[in-house]
Amino acid sequence: MFVPESIAEDPATFHARTFDHVDHALWVPVLSARRTLVLGSSQLLDTIDEQYLATNSIATATRRSGGGAVLVSSVDLVWFDVVISRDSQHWVDDVGHSFTWLGAACQAGLADLGVDTYMHRGRLSPSTWSSQICFAGLGPGELTIDGRKVVGMSQRRTRTHARFQVAILRHWNGAEHAAMLAGLTTEERAAASSDLEHVAVGLSHSPDEMLNAVFANL
């Protein structure tokens, strides 16, 4: 059984936490209202409009897992990490299938709240904007509602441990995410805004409702 542990750290510090010293953990960062745009490990800062971020008081951080940027705050999403060791019943060597158990737990928890979702079981499904915006793509174990992503996941692995990071959307604004992208023409930004508006969707349930429902199914 996983026991939730609240972690009062900023997103950058939380992402940098070591995890190969614990065999079984459920970490829940305490998110503030201040927004932080968390970039993927290989994502360059010049892909993001720093002036827009500064004007809107959005901080930046970089995580050690791949993928595009995720906008993090208590308003935008709920977030938790699960750490397991190789000895866990949930360990799967094939990283393409290693998310399935966690996606199923999220799906069951949201179903308990009356939310019907679809779990993606195929390979990574990228889009035009997914290298820059995480929720614009779809990976194994992630959940959608009517084709729109609602639960995103990433994973970091060592030889002995895996750390899964899960985000459940509470708020999504495609135009805002398009505005954060750098180097776009007016036409490209309009296209990005239109595309991104339909890739994801937030849920109206409270953070405690969603986390408790999911944790009951882990």
Q: What confidence score (pLDDT) does residue 122 get?
A: 87
Residue 179 has a CB neighbour count (10 Å cut-off) of 18
CA 148 – CA 42 distance, rounded (Å): 25
Question: Domain segments of the chain: what residues?
Answer: 4-215
CA 20 – CA 49 distance, rounded (Å): 35
Helix (H, G, I), strand (E, B) or coil at 63: coil
**pTM score, whole prediction:** 0.95
CA 210 – CA 170 distance, rounded (Å): 10
- Tell me the CA end-to-end span of the chain in Å, nearest whole number: 7
Q: Give the mean model confidence (pLDDT) for residues 19-42.
A: 94
Q: What is the pLDDT of residues 132-174, one digit of tens each?
A: 999 999 999 999 999 999 999 999 999 999 999 999 999 999 9
Q: What confidence score (pLDDT) does residue 38 get?
A: 95
CA 153 – CA 24 distance, rounded (Å): 18
Q: CATH assignment of 4-215?
A: 3.30.930.10
